[in-house]
Amino acid sequence: MLRSGPFRWHLLAYVLLQAITIGFGYMIPNSCQLGYGVAPLIAGVLVLPGALVGAAAAPVAGSLLDRYGAARPIIVAMSVAVLGVALMVVLVGPDSNVIVIGTCYFIYMLGFSMCFANTMTSGMGYIAPQFKSDGNAVFSTFQQLAGAVGTTVMFVFLGMAQAGTKSGTAEFAKATISGTHWGYVALLIVAVLALLSNLHALMLGRRITVH
């Protein structure tokens, strides 16, 4: 099963996407509360539209996969996801409105929800039927691992930036925003790697199909 190149690269992209999403889920509410001073309720509401679009777009993504195949829907959706993270890096700063954060996250989640399940579906298509249950188990296991890693890495970025500052002070808020920015930069790098991983998987899959 793991000998299949397309399966491995799709699995890597799947893991990276999950790490990004969980990382955002940790970073956005914390940075909004500790860095921008918004109420916990507002911080939670900011990620709600992204979650809703994720739930709504997933069925659409499946129908696009059935209609156009894996390559076009996955790459277009991945590009949208990368754009959302890039906008977060470029537009979010000390003076940003939290609505900007919510909008960038919405864009990311739109792309994520359109490619996440399709990435797994495409990867599973390259393994023999008798290994389907094993393939599902591998994706599920690595999905949980990715969530833990995503949270831990974002925690480290915030913790390092906040070190030596006192909670509730302006210096602490500034440090939180700085740590958040570098966390977003890391997530952008991971998003690009996920895009390249999916692209490589699709290219390998095309070669297998041709031969």
pLDDT digits (tens, 9 = 90+) for 14-63: 999 999 999 999 999 999 999 999 998 888 888 888 888 888 888 888 88
The two most distant CA atoms of the chain are separated, in Å, by: 63
pLDDT digits (tens, 9 = 90+) for 150-179: 999 999 999 999 998 998 899 999 999 999
Of 61 and 196, more confident: 196
The SS3 of residue 50 is helix
Of 90 and 96, more confident: 90
Angle (deg, nearest 10), helices 5-34 and 71-91: 30
CA 72 to chain centre: 19
211, pLDDT greater than 60? no
Highest mean pLDDT among 19-23, 94-98, 133-137: 19-23
What CATH architecture is 22-123+131-210?
Answer: Up-down Bundle (1.20)
pLDDT digits (tens, 9 = 90+) for 105-127: 999 999 999 999 999 999 999 98
205, pLDDT greater than 90? no
Angle (deg, nearest 10), helices 48-68 and 98-124: 30
The SS3 of residue 3 is coil
C-alpha 163/C-alpha 171 separation (Å) is: 11
**Percentage of the residues of the chain whose pLDDT score is greater than 70:** 97
* The two three-digit tokens of residue 193, written as one number: 């790697």
pTM of the predicted protein model? 0.92
**Percentage of the residues of the chain whose pLDDT score is greater than 90:** 68
Q: Which amino acid is at 36?
A: Y
The answer to whether residues 80 and 110 touch, using CB atoms and an 8 Å cutoff, is yes
Instruction: Give the H or E element holding residue 71.
Output: helix 71-91
Q: Where in the chain are the domains? A: 22-123+131-210
DSSP symbol at 96? -
Residue bearing tokens 């579906």: 121
